[in-house]
Structure formats: structure tokens, C-alpha cells
Amino acid sequence: MKTTTYTAYTARAIPPAALEELRTTDDAGHPCVPFTDEEGGAPLRCCLRLSEPGERIALVSYAPLRRWAAQTWAKPGAYDEQGPVFICAACDGPAGEAEEYPFARAGALRTVRRYDAEGRIVGGRLLEIPEDTTKGYETAFEEAFKDPEVALVHVRALEYGCFHFEVRRA
């Protein structure tokens, strides 16, 4: 799986195998329909960057917890959500190391959801990203992983609830 490491934690993009499946049929059973993003700026969850004007992308339904549970035998039950994410029509994931967490913009609101080994929500918090975006995220992740029950964290946009990226214990 391609990941991007920052200081203490690693943001995980949609894994390449899942990405290939999503480019055919998404997690809601709909066909992938790429389009040209004329304006750019869409948050791409496959490579953890914003789209460029004129780039071919797709909006697909993605169930990150379901896919994680399939690998770990977790049973998330009702917490098995799926929602819209943008992906590239063709990419292999993040290109190298990044200097900051993806989609980090001071003042933006994110939810940091904590899940246990069974895939159940065991807490979360609102994060208003501060000027020092890296420190803001890492403080939230440190707080989350102090709880020994937390197996992974999902970062989501507050406004739409969209999945942005996943963080796991090292």
C-alpha cells in the first residue's frame, strides 16, 4: 500500500488494489464514469493531492472501513459507511513524500474518527486545522492513539462527511 509519512504518523491513501476495483465498479455497485475536471481543486483520495485543471478524474462511492474489515476480519456492522470520493482516472497513488498532511488548510474543519479493532467508533473529535497544520493533525492523532482501543483513525471533511485519509498505529 502506498502511504505518505509526515512527522509521526502516516496518511494512507486508497490502496492500489482497491483503486483498480473502484475504477470499474465503486463500492455502491455503480460504474466508474471519469470526466475532465475543468477547474481543478478536487481532493483526490488516491494520491492525496488536489486535481489539476483539465485532469481526468471520477467521483465514486468508497467504503474504507468495509475494505479494512475485509482484511482484518473486523465486524463494523452499522459503522460500515460508504461515501463519495474523487479519484484519478489513472494513477498509482501518492508520488513520494509530502511536507504536510493532505488537504490541510488552516481554518478548515475536519472530524477525526477513532475506530477499534472491530471497526466500531470509539470516539472522535472536531479539528479546526490551525496555522501549523502538521502540528494540529499530529496533536489530534496523538490524542486518538493514547487510547489503546484505537486501531485506526479516519479524517473526514466536516461539511460533507467525505473520507479524506486513514491513519493507523505504526
Write the DSSP symbol of residue 23: T
**Could you give the percent of the chain with pLDDT greater than 90?**
76
Task: Yes or no: say if 104 and 128 are a contact pair by the CB < 8 Å rule.
Answer: no
Residue 117 has pLDDT above 70, yes or no: yes
Residue 98 pLDDT level (bands cut at 50, 70, 90): low
**Could you give the percent of the chain with pLDDT greater than 70?**
93
pLDDT at 92: 79
Average pLDDT over residues 59-84: 93
Question: What does the domain layout of the chain look like in residue ranges?
Answer: 3-88, 109-168
Average pLDDT over residues 90-94: 84
pLDDT at 29: 97
Residue 1 pLDDT level (bands cut at 50, 70, 90): very low
Average pLDDT over residues 105-113: 95
Task: Yes or no: say if 87 and 44 are a contact pair by the CB < 8 Å rule.
Answer: yes
Average pLDDT over residues 20-42: 97
Q: Residue 152: name the closest of 4, 3, 9 by CA.
A: 9
Helices (H), 13-104: 16-22, 64-72
d(CA 5, CA 100): 9
Residue 7 pLDDT level (bands cut at 50, 70, 90): low
β-pairing, 83-88 with 55-62? antiparallel
